[in-house]
């Protein structure tokens, strides 16, 4: 790893210089952090699971015409991605009340929201990623009004895709966070989905039991986080891909 030039190290990933101009390698670490790194543990194999789950989601987003930075998975822990300028926002889409919105607005966890709600948070660890409005975003120049429109359209399309994907395997998509980047191609700039989408950045509940299958297991000290991530990967058909009897792709869960 030391052969390559390290461009950036975050809490859960490292970015290295890629093999060609305009590319990077995204390495998934085993670090689990919460509450802006106040809670930190190494969970053996988390990076491998998130790499695989995120690859599955991003390659499908690409296939249905939702642009992303993802090119291909390289190995157990690494992906080849396009280099983008990250928009300094975390964009959260919520379908069901949980986490910070439940606390902020006094909602019951599990309450279905009147409609999908998009929230913006300014990416600044030293400030604990404060929630911001479109006024702040345009006023401080973090994104233009046209970019905010693009971001909201992408966020809703990702929400529709992910909700359907997880519903098909018996999982409810409560909320998720995405990050966006600016990608230049032939002098044209467009906004693409970047970073990762995994149980680290989504709230995923089993539809029947409401069991949490995401990073809330770590945040709330429920235990069994790796098993939950493995369960998500397994339901998406990602764990036994080379074993002929199971075949590929999502496993349909019959609802009654």
Residues in contact with ligand TMP by CB under 6 A are 92, 99-101, 129, 175-177, 201-203
Longest pairwise C-alpha distance within the chain: 56
d(CA 95, CA 125): 25
Between 162 and 236, CB nearer to ligand TMP: 162
Between 100 and 116, CB nearer to ligand TMP: 100
Burial class (CB in 10 A: 0-12, 13-18, 19+), 166: buried
Tokens of 56: 């599955």
**Residue whose token pair is 């439940």:** 102
Q: How far is the CB of 59 from ligand TMP (least distance, A)?
A: 20
Between 99 and 250, CB nearer to ligand TMP: 99
Q: How far is the CB of 187 from ligand TMP (least distance, A)?
A: 33
Q: How far is the CB of 189 from ligand TMP (least distance, A)?
A: 25
Residue 115 φ then ψ, to 5° = -160, 170
Q: How far is the CB of 121 from ligand TMP (least distance, A)?
A: 7
Q: Which residue is nearest to ligand TMP, using beta carbons?
A: 99
d(CA 245, CA 29): 31
Q: How far is the CB of 219 from ligand TMP (least distance, A)?
A: 8
d(CA 110, CA 122): 26
Helix axis angle, 145-167 relative to 46-63, nearest 10°? 110
Residue 186 φ then ψ, to 5° = 50, 55
Cβ atoms of 150 and 139 closer than 8 Å: no
Q: How far is the CB of 174 from ligand TMP (least distance, A)?
A: 7
Between 18 and 155, CB nearer to ligand TMP: 155
Between 109 and 150, CB nearer to ligand TMP: 109
Between 43 and 74, CB nearer to ligand TMP: 43
Between 57 and 101, CB nearer to ligand TMP: 101
Tokens of 83: 């280099």
Tokens of 182: 């600016």
Q: How far is the CB of 99 from ligand TMP (least distance, A)?
A: 2
């Amino acid at each position: 790893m030391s052969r390559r030039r390290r461009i950036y190290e975050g809490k859960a990933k490292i970015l290295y210089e890629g093999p060609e101009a305009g590319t990077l390698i995204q390495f998934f670490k085993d670090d689990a952090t919460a509450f802006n790194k106040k809670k930190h543990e190494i969970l053996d194999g988390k990076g491998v699971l998130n790499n695989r789950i995120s690859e599955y989601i991003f390659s499908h987003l690409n296939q249905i015409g939702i642009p992303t930075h993802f090119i291909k998975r390289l190995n157990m822990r690494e992906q080849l991605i396009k280099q983008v300028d990250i928009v300094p926002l975390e964009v959260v889409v919520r379908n069901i009340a949980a986490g910070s919105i439940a606390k902020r607005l006094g909602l019951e966890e599990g309450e279905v929201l009147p409609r999908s709600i998009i929230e913006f948070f300014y990416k600044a660890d030293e400030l604990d990623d404060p929630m911001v409005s479109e006024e702040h975003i345009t006023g401080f120049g973090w994104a233009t009004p046209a970019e905010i429109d693009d971001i909201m359209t992408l966020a809703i399309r990702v929400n529709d895709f992910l909700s359907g994907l997880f519903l098909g395997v018996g999982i409810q998509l409560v909320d998720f966070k995405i990050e966006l980047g600016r990608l230049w191609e032939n002098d044209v700039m467009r906004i693409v989905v970047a970073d990762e989408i995994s149980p680290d950045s989504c709230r995923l509940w089993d539809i029947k039991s409401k069991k949490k299958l995401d990073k809330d297991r770590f945040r709330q000290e429920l235990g069994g986080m790796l098993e939950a991530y493995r369960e998500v990967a397994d339901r998406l058909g990602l764990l036994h891909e080379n074993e002929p009897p199971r075949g590929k792709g999502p496993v349909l869960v019959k609802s009654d």
